[in-house]
Amino acid sequence: MTRKKSSEPSESTLFAYFNEIGIIAQLSIVLFERNLPEGLNNSQFGVLNWFCRVDSEASPGRLATAFQVTAGAMTNTLKRLESKGLVKIEPDQFSGRKKKITITAKGEKVQKQAIAASAPLFQEFAENCPQENIELQIEQLQKVREYLDQRRYN
């Protein structure tokens, strides 16, 4: 049996850590969704946000992998976004079977509006948490995200 170094957190500490992250995620999603434009849910916003921060073009499969959802779930989300004019779905020029998804100008505008609509929520939070704490937490959370992102392929 391998002994744990005294500097390593216990299983109960690690569970509490990830449990807090999960609760924070749930609470923040619900608060954020209240500020989304009518008819847009968090999953749809997530896809728009992905296009604005990661890449301007993707296949449905790439998006499904990125969001860790089934191809069917992603197809449903993309069809809803397309019906609102927020993404464009077209055949991939290199493969007749594959699709190419791009965000539209309207989709970019809606993504920015959603973030702007949450500004009061962000400001209220900022009043209760010092800037230096937030910046330190962002650095730490990015490390957690990067680790978990690598683990999803194992």
Q: Are residues 107 and 58 in the same domain?
A: yes
- Please check whether residue 22 lies inside any domain of the structure: no
Residue 102 and residue 129 in one domain: no
CA distance 143 to 126: 22
44-83 tens-digit pLDDT:
999 999 999 999 999 999 999 999 999 999 999 999 999 9
Same domain, 53 and 109: yes
* Residues 94 and 142 reside in one and the same domain: no
The answer to whether residues 108 and 129 belong to one domain is no
Domain count, the chain: 2
Among 92, 110, 91, 89, smallest CA distance to 46 is for 110
Note down the domain range covering 79.
31-117
Is 126 part of any domain? yes
Among 18-22, 88-92, 95-99, the minimum mean pLDDT is found in 95-99
1: pLDDT strictly greater than 70 = no
User: What is residue 153's predicted lDDT score, i.e. its pLDDT?
Assistant: 75
- The pTM of this model reads 0.81
Q: Which two tokens stand for residue 152?
A: 């999803």
Confidence of residue 3 (pLDDT cuts 50, 70, 90): low
Tokens of 58: 């993707």
The three state secondary structure string of the chain is CCCCCCCCCCHHHHHHHHHHHHHHHHHHHHHHHCCCCCCCCHHHHHHHHHHHHCCCEECHHHHHHHHCCCHHHHHHHHHHHHHCCCEEEEEECCEEEEEEEEECHHHHHHHHHHHHHCHHHHHHHHHHCCHHHHHHHHHHHHHHHHHHHHHCCC
Q: Are residues 77 and 130 in the same domain?
A: no
Alpha-carbon distance 114 to 38, whole Å?
A: 10
Residues 85 and 140 both lie in one domain: no
Domain CATH for 42 = 1.10.10.10
Arithmetic mean of pLDDT, 109-133: 91
In this structure, which amino acid lies at residue 41?
Answer: N
- Length of the chain in terms of residues written: 154
Q: Is residue 150 part of a domain?
A: yes
- Whether 24 has a pLDDT exceeding 80, the answer reads yes
pLDDT mean across residues, the chain: 91
| 97 shares its domain with 127 | no
